[in-house]
Every structure is written in C-alpha cells, then in structure tokens.
Structure 1
Amino acid sequence: MLIFLFSMVLALTVFMIFFAVIRKVILPQTSVRQRIFALDQNNAPVPGTTVVKTDGQRKIREIPFMERVVKPAGEHIADTISHMAPKQVLALIEKRLVMAGKAHECTAPQFMVIILIGALSMWFITFTFVGDGNYILIQKVVFLLLGGILGGMMPVACLNTMVQNRQAEIARQLPEVLDLLCVSVQAGLSFDAALSKITDRMKGALISECKRLQEDIRMGMVRRTAMKNLASRCDVQDVSLFMTSVIQAERLGTSMSKTLKNQADNIRERRRQYVKAEAMRAPVKIVFPLVLFIFPALFVVTLVPTLLFLMRNM
C-alpha cells in the first residue's frame, strides 16, 4: 500500500512539473505560432506571381522542433534555476567551466539543468529496477536516493576530468611556448610581437588562453589584470609563476629576455622533475594490472600442462 501511494505521489509530481512547463513555455509559443501561421496564410502569394525568399526568413513549420520547443524550455528552466540556486554554487560552476574551456558552450544554469536531468534519469532507471524487487520500503528509498545522487554527480565528474586533462595539456605545452618566447625576444621582438607570432602558428589550450589575453589587452584591459586573469583561468602553478615573473619584470624594468630565459630553464627543470616522479610511480601502478591480468595467465601457462599430465597418469 505504501509503495502504491509513493508511486501515485511521484507520478502526480512529475505530471505537475510537465504541466507547468507546457503551460509556461509551450502553450504561449503554440498560440504565437498559430497567429503567425494565420498571417502567413493571409499573406499568401497570388497564383502566377514569384516570391523572393531571403535566407534570414523561415516559416514556423521549417524551424526544427529543438529550436521551437526544447531549447526555449531548457532556457526557461535554466533561468529559473539561476534565480533559485545559491550564487556561490553558480560562481563555482562558472569557474570550473572556464577552467575546462567550456564557458562559451555552456553556462552555469545550463550545467545545473544537465545535473538535474542526470539525477532524474538515474533516479528513473533505479526506480524501474528496484520498484518490482523484493525490498522493503526503506531499502527502496535508499536505492532511489543513491541513484539520484550518482546521476547528479556524473556530469560533475566529467567536468572535473575535463579540467584535469586541460591543465595537464597546458603544463605540457608551457615549456615549449616559453622556449619560443625566449628565442623570439632574444632575436629582437617585443613580448607582444613574439606572443602574436606563437599564437598564429600554434594550437592548444595554452595558445587559446594566450589569444584571449591578447584580446583582453586590445579591448583596453590593463596588462597586469589580463595576465592575472589568464593565471586564474588556467589554475596551473607553472603558469602562475610565469605570469608573476613577467608582471614583476615589467614593473621593475628588468630585462625581459633574461626573465624569460630564467623562467624557461626553471619550468623546463620542474617539468623534468615531474616526469621523473611519474616514472618512479610506474612500478607501483603496474602492480594491480600485473596481479589481475598477467599472473593468472602465467599460472595457466605453467601449471595447467603439469596438472593435466598428473591427472592422466593417476
């Protein structure tokens, strides 16, 4: 009886949510679409005349369903979440999106919608498998809660993985960029000219951040602020040290070529030490695949013939 009441309350809640979305988003667009269609019928061309149709004009029937219904509904939900969610959470998500390089593809409210969709999807899958199982009510509630939490955490885990991969790419690319900067500045180019040459001929996460740095400076932002913003967007220790050294060199008036040379040697040595540390961790990391995959195969190859021989001679 309790399970039946719980299912009824759940179905009623889902129905009310969908009804509110349809009432707020889809029905106004439907009425507007009907009015536009009526006007379109009234303004139909006279037979025998030619109508020139521009590329920027499309009929309602030619607009895809995603643009007509799904996208406005998602934007409405994202706007509602942006008003309800705490500002600190939205600021943290926005920072992580910037660090992952996805700020131009997804906003913080949209990512909250993705989290909500993941939680509801996983919750529905868990309810499908657990609803008919031989579990007591408290177990079903715990399973549903764990499923919802797991579904909501999956987009966050994917975002953290993208951030880590991007930071690793920036750390790998930084020594090469510094060497090219050092060589270009020693050849007589200014720092901005050398950076422009590098960004025109290279690609990568660090190069895209350097391009944004140049765009900020061209838009009138103070160089010091733009460099600090770059270090904050990357959130890599080597990039922060490099930006701090360049800011100090410009403030104190020291030689830029010497500063870049010292930073290139320093970061190259730090990168070498990091690679050595990772190489020293390799024997420890290989223990688990060795025990799980290699040792059983060796045991089969070495012991199975002996066991078969003993079984035949017994």
Structure 2
Amino acid sequence: MSMINDLLGPMGFIIIAGVLGLALIAVAAGMFLLQPADPLKKLQATNATATAPSRENRLRTDNGNNKLEKFSHFLEPQDEEELSSIRLKLVQAGYRSRNAVRIFYFAQMVLGLGALGVGLLYAFLASQNQPLETKQMVIYALLPAVVGYMAPRYWVNKRQEERQKSILEGFPDALDMMLVCVEAGQSMDQSIIRVARESREGYPALSEEFEIVAHEMKAGKDKAVVLRDLSERAGVPDISSFVTVLIQSATFGTPITDALRVYAEEMRDKRVMRAEEKANTLPTKMTLATMGLTVPPLILILIGPSLYGIVEMFDKMK
C-alpha cells in the first residue's frame, strides 16, 4: 500500500481497482463478441432461408446488424413482468425497434461506467492538490456514475410525457375530423387513414399511431385487438375511453356516427375545461413572481424619500 501511495497518491488503490474492473469488462465483452454462433441457430436460419420467400427472409432473419444479440442475456431483464413494463414504456416514448430494450440497458451501462471513470479521474486530479477524505472520494466517484446511469431513464420518461401530451392535445381535432369523414360516407378504416394523413404536420405522434392502426387493419388483424393495442401504445386515458366507445358500438350495433358525435363533444368540453384549469392556476403561480418583482420597487418608492430625509437630518445635526 505504501508503494502504491507513493506512485499514485491516496487514490492509488481505487484507481487500480477501477482499471482492473474495466479490463475485466473489456475481456468479457471481447470473449462474447468472438464466441462462435450457436449451431442450432445456424441450422434454423438455413432452413428458414431455404423454405421462406426472399422478402420474408430479409425481414425475419438476423443479417449481422443486430450487434447486441449476443448480450441479450445481460442487457434484458429476466423477469417477464419487468421486461414487458420497460418495453411498454419505450413504445409509449416512441422507440419501437426490436432492440430498444437492449439499447436502453446498454446505454445505462455505458453511461454509468463512463461517468464512473470520469469521476475517478476527477477525484485523482483533485487529490493531487489536496488530500481528499473518504466521503469526498466516494461522492466524486459515485455521484457521476449514478447520474449517468439514471440519465437514459430520465430521457425516456421525458419523451413519454411529451409524446402523451402531444397526443392528448391533438386528439380532439382528430376526433372532429374523423366524425366529419364518417358523416361524409367514409368507413371507419378510411377515416382513420385520412385523419392520419391530415394530422401528420401538426401532431406527428398521433398521426403515427393512426397509421399503425390503419396498417394493422389492412393486414387483417381483428379490429378490437388493433384498437386495444392503440390504447396500450398511447397510454392516454382519453384514447382508452375512445377505444372502449368504439368497441361497445361495434358490439351492440349502435351507429358509429352517434358514438363519435357524443364523444367528440365530450372531448371538446374536456379541452375547454383543461384550458380553464390552467387559466385558474395562473394567478397562483404568478403571485410569488409578482411579489418579488413589484413589492421591493414599491417599498423603495414609498420609503426611499423618508430615508433620504432622515439621512440628511442626521448630517445637519452633525
């Protein structure tokens, strides 16, 4: 320990442990990347190539682009409930790729280790000028690692909230347009396609969801299942209620125009109520800013002349 402290300073032991840990991670990653492919998977891919059409092979087989496939055991939670939860969160945030879960956990690992390395480097440089206490060294090393590890989760949560807000804002207008299309004689599938095309510029997230619904209906998927998937992907209560109305209308045989008209009116009322709620909370939010910006100048204007007169009076008394 004395030799290590002489060579590297008080942080020598932590630096050596960190370097060894990174070296072990690099060796393990290299071994996983260089390991031979599973013969059973090779056989399955060969059989699929021989029996399936060329386009289907391009869609279903792995052409070497999936670099994280070998690390799926480490980059995906083994608990099925946790895996479904994080996958749903990523879908609601707009990340629908096959490797979204793996990329998410890979980003957490890389950012966490990278921030840990930066923290250790900063602690080492800071200890050269002044010896650090153990508490300070732990804070300098672990705090950046925690921030780096939590940064992808914060980003996904932020994207999920923004996307749901965008869908909620554009849904009343899309519902009115859908009602106009249905009353003009178009079917529900055609109206969804038209709404997706017309709302692409203003509300891209909502347009994307309606396009997915249109493609799934064209593919022959059951309409009730498609609508429930829409409700799950959006994660917005208004969309869930809309899906429930459509399914009940189709189940009981009631006219879809009546259901859309009533629900569109309700959505317009809810939008007005949300605007009124924001307007009513505005005075409360502005109270502190108003007091901070107006009260000090007002006090200065009212008391300033008196204070100036008092100061002049004391000067004359002197």
Shared fold, TM over 0.5: yes
Q: 1:6 to 1:95 in 2, by over 3 A?
A: same
**Contact 1:170–1:205 (Cα < 8 Å) also in 2:** yes
Tell me the secondary structure at the aligned position of residue 286 of structure 1. Answer: helix
The one-letter code sitting in structure 1 at the alignment partner of 2:269 is E
**Contact 2:168–2:236 (Cα < 8 Å) also in 1:** yes
Number of the residue aligned with 1:50: none
**Deviation sequence 1:59-96 (CA, Å, 0-9, x none):** xxxxxxxxx9xx87x62674242366544333222111
Number of the residue aligned with 2:74: 81
Tell me the secondary structure at the aligned position of residue 68 of structure 2. Answer: helix
In structure 1, C-alpha distance between the alignment counterparts of 2:157 and 2:76, rounded to whole Å: 25
Q: 1:305 to 1:233 in 2, by over 3 A?
A: same
Q: Compute the RMSD of aligned alpha carbons.
A: 3.3
1:205 is aligned to 2:213: no
Number of the residue aligned with 2:107: 114
In structure 2, C-alpha distance between the alignment counterparts of 1:27 and 1:222, rounded to whole Å: 43
Instruction: Choose from 69, 85, 91 the match for 1:92.
Output: 85
**Contact 2:76–2:102 (Cα < 8 Å) also in 1:** no
**Deviation sequence 1:253-272 (CA, Å, 0-9, x none):** 00111100000001111111
**Contact 2:195–2:210 (Cα < 8 Å) also in 1:** no
1:150 is aligned to 2:147: yes
1:161 is aligned to 2:169: no
Higher mean C-alpha deviation, range 111-120 or range 298-307: 298-307
In structure 1, C-alpha distance between the alignment counterparts of 2:77 and 2:227, rounded to whole Å: 34
Deviation at 1:103, TM superposition (A): 1.5
Q: 1:7 to 1:85 in 2, by over 3 A?
A: farther
Tell me the secondary structure at the aligned position of residue 169 of structure 2. Answer: helix
Q: 1:76 to 1:261 in 2, by over 3 A?
A: closer
In structure 2, stretches of 5+ residues that fail to align are 2-9, 37-63
The one-letter code sitting in structure 2 at the alignment partner of 1:272 is V
In structure 1, stretches of 5+ residues that fail to align are 29-67
Number of the residue aligned with 1:40: none
In structure 2, C-alpha distance between the alignment counterparts of 1:121 and 1:296, rounded to whole Å: 48
Deviation at 1:289, TM superposition (A): 4.7
Q: 1:202 to 1:165 in 2, by over 3 A?
A: same
Deviation at 1:172, TM superposition (A): 0.6
Number of the residue aligned with 1:47: none
Q: 1:104 to 1:125 in 2, by over 3 A?
A: same
Number of the residue aligned with 1:231: 231
**Contact 1:115–1:151 (Cα < 8 Å) also in 2:** yes
Number of the residue aligned with 2:6: none
**Contact 1:177–1:198 (Cα < 8 Å) also in 2:** yes
**Deviation sequence 1:217-267 (CA, Å, 0-9, x none):** 222211001000000000101111111001100110001111000000011
Q: 1:308 to 1:224 in 2, by over 3 A?
A: same
In structure 2, C-alpha distance between the alignment counterparts of 1:119 and 1:280, rounded to whole Å: 43
1:185 is aligned to 2:182: yes
Deviation at 1:139, TM superposition (A): 4.0
In structure 1, C-alpha distance between the alignment counterparts of 2:116 and 2:259, rounded to whole Å: 55
Q: 1:273 to 1:200 in 2, by over 3 A?
A: same
Equivalent pairs, count? 271
In structure 2, C-alpha distance between the alignment counterparts of 1:262 and 1:187, rounded to whole Å: 17
Deviation at 1:307, TM superposition (A): 11
**Contact 1:77–1:113 (Cα < 8 Å) also in 2:** no
In structure 1, C-alpha distance between the alignment counterparts of 2:305 and 2:123, rounded to whole Å: 48
TM-score using structure 2 length: 0.74
In structure 2, C-alpha distance between the alignment counterparts of 1:228 and 1:20, rounded to whole Å: 43
Q: 1:83 to 1:160 in 2, by over 3 A?
A: closer
Number of the residue aligned with 1:126: 119
In structure 1, C-alpha distance between the alignment counterparts of 2:35 and 2:71, rounded to whole Å: 19
Q: 1:303 to 1:145 in 2, by over 3 A?
A: farther
Q: 1:214 to 1:287 in 2, by over 3 A?
A: same
Deviation at 1:4, TM superposition (A): 2.2
